Amino acid sequence: MKKFGLSLTSLGLASLISLVGCDDSGNEFVDNKFTPSQVIVASAGPNSMGVVTQFDSRELTGDSNFNPMVNGSLVINGGDDLFGVTSSISMAYTSPGITVATNVFNRSLNFNLSIDSKNVVAGLAGPTGIENVDSRGMVLVGESTSRTVFGIGQRARGTDGTPAPAVFQTAAFAASAVPLGIAYDNSNDRLYVSLNDGTIAVFDTFFASGPSGASPTSILTIQIGGNAAVNITFLKLNGDSLFLADAGVQNVADGAIAVINGITAKAGATGTVSTNARISGTNSRLVDPTGIAFANNNNLFVSDVGANRVFNFGQSLANGGGNVGPLQQRTVSMPTGFASRIGGPKFTTDNNDLDSAVGDFTVIFTNNASGTGRTLGQVDGGLANIGGITFTIDSDLGGPMNVENCVVDNLGNVFVTADDGSNTTGTGGLLSLGVPFNGRMSAINPNNTGTDWDSVITGGNTQFKNPKGFDVCRDRGVIIIVENDQSSPAADAPQIIVYGFNASGNVTEFGRTTNLGLAGRRPWDCDYNKRDDRLYVACTDGTLIVYDNFLTTKLGGTSSAAPERVITPSDGLLPISVNLHGVIYNDATDQLILSDVGSAAVDDDGQIFVVNNAKFANGLTKVSTRIRGANSMLGNPVDIVNNGDTLFVAEKANGGGRILRFDNIFGRGDTMTASPDAMITTTAPESVSIAPGLTLAPAPMNQPQ
């Protein structure tokens, strides 16, 4: 039988079914009774090719559809980004690769390069199964042509027209053995790969031993109900149990869902392994099952490309299985990729919005070293040095560049804005350094960031010349950047620019706001409050401008809407701000923290302000806290970040540069004598960020050859 020009043999299933592996975050296995959960399924049907449908798993109803160009397997990472296989089996898809769609559980927009990315990976001719490994900042993808598993950086996007290289590729499996399902055991560093001959390949100490060129340490021959498995298309781990889907013979109603309990003890040696329970037979209605997801107190959901159905088997497998029918079903045309999420998003706050203090964290800061070196430094909460890494970004942006601001997201990716330092010429950009922390398989290239891990937004379509501060809004799926451009041609005036979290290359923005309330006003930093959809922007004329309903009403092309309010810090009588640079909004206390560099040429006139009742502040506003004076070490406090009521400051000028820490920032009052509670010297730091529970990896780990 032929569909879309390919024979649906086992190899055809590898191209079409391309099944999803497990998510090592464990979201799908939280025992969260009666919590609404969302199921998401991709389709390869003739009238719904590439469409993803999201629905409520309780009733299998409540559709929300969009087209991210995914017609194969898919997986959702811890930030709700969808990584999906795009196959070349349809004329609509000219080249195979990985599509990355942003904020998949909270959107209805179709694929959009201002939000998403089409990540074509070199050598990825026939992608099959896909697995997410957040702890390593990677996705693992089966490849049918080379019969290998590719390791791909989650932030890798390549460059315009140039595919991203894979981080690594395993050794090829035996002739005619096609990898289909993939599941990774993060606790034991063990990889399971199902093959189209009914076996499962096991890789022990997969990352620790070096995955490049790795071969299986054991091969398991699977028996389901006393019969040999035929074509295991899908794998999913739940604790120490490995769930699998066997499609059997193509288009014959012989599909099965089964589970192997105690897989850790059974996977160590080559041999036959029998499943502990199965669902199969005529009552099950299984034909060619393609995926498994768990939702609503671990109810078992199954997608079946041969039956054109999604089934809910409830607790049937846990209760012994057998020839049992589904509790619910719904029609989906050729469902391929399948996943679910229980409750809300994994990340409800961003690292740059830590209203309440976290105990396990490090402080990341950037320097523009002499020559071409750029540094990510790292200290602990007491400002003790931990170590850092040096990299350059010049080749990424077409010339000598300076890092301007940095933010670390919840998964450990570091985002930086950069420009040529002239404020008038050249093209700036926003770069993403994929997880330069423990777990990255190779160090950042000392000559430039690596396209196997990293990505950049830059070019003439981007409006970037001198991008400065920005806010990574992970659960909104956007990055909000302020553009300080001082050359001010009509198309590139100072403005606020918004991109989707996964945009890359020379692409136009998702939206931008050009009205800053006053001609000649220039922004330097911003902070977005998601609860009220409000954006606070610090400007170099000493004002803080405020946009209400920012993402709701001021996006969609170019907005000329003016800010609703303009706040000017005062002592109760007169303005006291000169040149605002850093801004933090604390949602828990409704307070703003602002930094003021004064004159950039003076190294002792910096200030820190706290403004109370920020939601209603307008016009000349008396500050509740004002830190300044010689003891404060404040000269050019160019950036700030807080961990609860502890403030960290990147002081660029005083003493040649320092990282300062001020405790109890909200309760200090107006003082000329306050000293930092801790400080270290570092050359002219440009920015500072918080990284909860993360440590930079200063050296390569199992560098692929």
Which residue type is seen at 348? T
Instruction: Give the tokens for residue 183.
Output: 């599941």
Q: Token match 């400002």: residue?
A: 383
Give the residues of the chain that fall short of pLDDT 70. 1-37, 62-63, 88-94, 106-108, 158-161, 341-355, 357, 369-373, 392-400, 421-426, 437-451, 486-492, 556, 694-705
With beta carbons less than 8 A apart as the criterion, state whether 43 and 84 touch.
no
With beta carbons less than 8 A apart as the criterion, state whether 225 and 232 touch.
no
DSSP letter for each residue of 530-572: TTTTEEEEEETTS-EEEESSHHHHS-SEEE-PPPSEEEEEESS
pLDDT at residue 434, as a whole number: 82
pLDDT at residue 94, as a whole number: 53
Instruction: Give the tokens for residue 585.
Output: 């909004």
Q: What distance in Å separates the CA atoms of residue 629 and residue 545, rounded to the nearest whole number?
A: 26
| Of 694, 156, 219, 133, the residue nearest 434 (C-alpha) | 156
Give 523's contacts (C-beta < 8 A, 6+ positions apart): 468, 469, 482, 483, 484, 494, 495, 496, 516, 537, 538, 539, 540, 545
pLDDT at residue 20, as a whole number: 32
| Of 484, 480, 490, the residue nearest 464 (C-alpha) | 484
Q: What distance in Å separates the CA atoms of residue 108 and residue 115, rounded to the nearest whole number?
A: 12
Number of Cβ atoms within 10 Å of the Cβ of 2: 8
Q: What distance in Å separates the CA atoms of residue 398 and residue 148, rounded to the nearest whole number?
A: 35
**Residue 238 backbone phi and psi in degrees, to 5:** -135, 95
Q: Token match 């050296």: residue?
A: 699
pLDDT at residue 110, as a whole number: 74
- What confidence tens digit (pLDDT) does each residue in 83-111 have? 888 876 553 445 778 888 887 776 667 77
pLDDT at residue 439, as a whole number: 57
pTM value? Answer: 0.88
